[in-house]
Structure formats: structure tokens, C-alpha cells
Structure 1
Amino acid sequence: MADTTSSLPVDLFDQTTIISLLFTLAIVAAAYATSRQVLASSTSSTLRFFFIWHLADALCHFILEGSFLYHCFFSHVPAEDALAAGFHPTPFNFLGHGAERVYGAQAGGSNPFAQMWMVYARADRRWAGVDLGVVSLELLTVFFDGTLALYICYCITKKDPKTSIWMIILATCELYGGFMTFCPEWLTGNINLDTSNFMYLWVYLVFFNTLWVFIPLYVIWWAVGDISGALNERKIKKNL
């Protein structure tokens, strides 16, 4: 890791960074506003929190991480020009194109989402281009996790008793995805991570990623308790 005592970069709080952080807050606000519209007033605070979390989770997966996948598959520039400009190389034969193209947010030009991912790539350079491990995980995250998160929101609105089961499945997926995202870095000495300042280390890498650790762990704890309570109640009724 880089020395955390080094001087701060001049673009630490540029316009793209501020807009990106505000957009993230807007997703949470939209999830909260939706909860006010679709959940009954009698809904417990815990289930309301789970609804907001899972809706915000789905929106992050579909909009933010979906845009990352879009640029990985559809944004590209000639490799000769890109590599000369310092772009990260794309794995050989990605999408069957040999080595003549460079893909990823780095090739997205002025697209707002490409610029947003280039901001995050200051802390984790893998997100600038195409890292096959990250892309493979994001395909599952966007299409499976995002869809399941939306379904969980629907289950909460319908007071479906199977909601806890689906929440455990999704939370386990989120934890596994986070581990597989960062374990390769831990094993190679964090060569792609920049922890040279507070924003990169504690906001981008720690805060935004550990949200998908601590909240899923809490979801699992609550859901296991909910299922256990239902099973204990059934056991009591059988013994009557």
C-alpha cells in the first residue's frame, strides 16, 4: 500500500467526485422515499430498513455497477493509442478481439458514469479497465444480486414469510462477492490499491465496501433469528 502520509492529490474533491458522492446519496434518498410510498405504516422499523437497503442495493447494482459492465463490454479504443496514453491493458482476446482494443471506463471518454468509475479507480485501479475477476463477479452481482434484491423488496411489501430465506441467500452472495473482490489484492500485497489519503482508504475502499459486509451480516443474523423463532413456534404447537 502507498504511504498514507503523502500529500493529497489536487483532484481529490473535483466536480466529478462530488457529483458521484451526491448521486450515491440520491439513490439512498430514492429508496427511502419509495419505502414511504409502498410500505404500510405498521411496517416495523427493521423491515423498513431492510426494504431501503435492498432497494438501494438493487439500484447500485443496476445503475452503478451496470454502467461499469457496459463500459467493459462496449467502450473501447485502439490499443496502440490507448497504451501510449497510459491506459491499463485489456486481457488478451477479451471478447475475441486479440490485443487490438482496450476496454473499460478508461475508454468511456466524457460519459458521466465512465468518469465516475475513473474517480473510484484512483483508489482501485482495476476498475479503470477490464479485470476478468471483477467483471465475472459483477455479471453475477448485477444480473442475479440486483434482481434478487428487487424481489426481496417485493416480498417485504407483500409480507411474504419466505422473505428471510431470500435475504439470507442474497446476503451470502454479497459477502462472497466482497471477499472474492479483495482477496486477490490481499494475496498480492494490494498492488492495485492506493491508500495514500483519507478519501481513497476510508471512504472509497473501507466505507463503501464494508457496507456490503456489516449490513449483510446483520441481515443474516436477523433472518436466522426470524426463521428460528418460526420453527420454535411450530415445535411448541406440535407439543401442545
Structure 2
Amino acid sequence: MSDAPTIFTKTSAFSLAGVAGVGFLAYLGANKFLPKNARWQDRFTFIWLAFDAMIHFSFEGSFLWLSVFGRQVNTSTGPFAEMWREYAAADFRWGTADPTVVSLEILTVLGAGPMCCYILKQLAGDDPARHYWIIVLSTAELYGGWMTFCPEWLTGSPNLNTSNVLHLWVYLVFMNIIWVGVPLWLMYDSYAHVASSLRAVQAAAKPKSKAA
């Protein structure tokens, strides 16, 4: 009989299916609330922000509830506790209500989640002011990722378990790197809009030189 650790479990399957389901709902939302001729960049942004908001409110919201009112994931019961124990097998801090992680999740759930919804409203109404808030949100997302992992790296990563392929490449790498790559792209796209608009206003405000 093999003593090799199980890589993929039933909890893994349900958790990843839940994430995929959230992504599908976000896609449906973009089709419903955006015009068919919307830029692909705006459609992608809508899908991401809808996905982001639902992840913050449901998955991370459940972690916050279990860690604040249930005291910690490892001693809680229920499907969300099972899901977070699965993730905590890769990063132990999520099972023990680490104060740094919980503090970041308070900002994420109560700050970033509502901000996503506000930007979605702006996107649906084609309000260009959204680009400012997209940059604010993206900066906050990047800061949250940095403060989640930088303290761990500086101390030799004592709470990270990289022995399981699924835990390493899906939970720790993929599930976190998308919250780096996508916000960086959103910042670039919004910066391009803000910069081009300001330059256009500046050019229009300059007095035209008289012909000699």
C-alpha cells in the first residue's frame, strides 16, 4: 500500500469548481451589462472585477467570518472551513487566523470588494472616472499580495508547504500570481487612458502660434 500523499482530493475538486463557477457568473454579467460593441479591454476588466468582487465576498468573506467569529479555520466546521483547511495545507497561516492575514482580509473584503462593485457600476455606465478607481484598487491588490508573502519570505517561509504539486503551483503560485498580473495590466490600461486624456486637454489649451 502506497503512503504517498494525495495530491487531488474531493475538497480540491469542489473548491476549484467553485472558483470556475464564479468566473462563469462574471462572464455572464459582462454579457448582460456591457454593450456588445464594448472594447475587449473593458469586457475583460468587467469580468475580472466581477470575479474579484465575488471571490472577496464569498470565499475570503467566509475566511474572515471563520477567523473573527469562529476564531480560526482549523477549529471550525462546514464546507467553507473544509475549503480553507485545504488551502491552509499550503499556507499554514490561513488555518490559525494569523493576525497579519486577517488584517489584510478585513481591508480586502470590506474595502476592495465594495470598490469592485462601484467600478462595475461605472463600467456599465461608461464613466471614464473609473480609471482613477481602477488604479486605486489595483494598487491595493498589489499591496495586499506583497504584505501577504513578503513577511513570509523574509523569515524563510516557515508557514509555506511546497511539497504538494497542487498546493504549490495552483494554490500558492497561480491563485496569487493572477492578483499580481491582472492588476498590473489594469493599471497600465487605465494609465494609458488617463495620460492620453490629460495630454489631449493640455494640447487643446495651448495657444496656437501665429503664422509668421
Please give the TM-score of this superposition, normalised by the length of structure 2: 0.94
Following superposition, the deviation at residue 197 of structure 1 comes to 2.6
- 1:170 aligns to what? 137
Are positions 1:9 and 2:29 aligned together? no
1:131-182 deviation line (CA, Å, top 9, x unaligned): 0000000000000000001111111001111010000000000000000000
Q: Distance in 1 between matches of 2:109 and 2:169?
A: 25
Is the 8 Å Cα contact of residues 26 and 47 (structure 2) preserved in structure 1? yes
Pairwise CA RMSD of aligned residues?
A: 1.1
State which of 34, 52, 55 in structure 2 corresponds to 1:57.
52
State which of 117, 120, 128 in structure 1 corresponds to 2:95.
128
Match runs of 1:43-122 below 5 Å? 43-75=38-70, 103-109=71-77, 111-122=78-89
Is the 8 Å Cα contact of residues 8 and 166 (structure 2) preserved in structure 1? no
Match runs of 1:148-227 below 5 Å? 148-227=115-194
Question: Post-superposition, which runs of at least 4 consecutive aligned residues in structure 1 deviate over 6 A?
Answer: none
In structure 2, the gaps of 5 or more residues are none
- 1:97 aligns to what? none
Following superposition, the deviation at residue 115 of structure 1 comes to 0.3
In structure 1, the gaps of 5 or more residues are 1-6, 76-102
Structure with greater helix percent: 2
Is the 8 Å Cα contact of residues 139 and 183 (structure 2) preserved in structure 1? yes
Q: Distance in 1 between matches of 2:35 and 2:56?
A: 26
Following superposition, the deviation at residue 235 of structure 1 comes to 1.6
Q: Distance in 1 between matches of 2:125 and 2:131?
A: 13
Following superposition, the deviation at residue 8 of structure 1 comes to 5.0
Give the SS at the match of 2:5: coil
Q: Distance in 1 between matches of 2:121 and 2:186?
A: 16
Is the 8 Å Cα contact of residues 174 and 213 (structure 1) preserved in structure 2? yes
Following superposition, the deviation at residue 236 of structure 1 comes to 2.0
- 2:15 aligns to what? 20
1:105-138 deviation line (CA, Å, top 9, x unaligned): 11222x1000000000110011112100000000
1:33-92 deviation line (CA, Å, top 9, x unaligned): 0111111112111000000001100000000000001101222xxxxxxxxxxxxxxxxx
Identify the structure with bigger relative contact order (alpha carbons < 8 Å, sequence gap 6+): 1
Q: Distance in 1 between matches of 2:4 and 2:103?
A: 33
Q: Distance in 2 between matches of 1:29 and 1:144?
A: 24
Give the SS at the match of 1:151: helix
How many residues of Structure 1 are paired with residues of Structure 2 in the alignment? 205
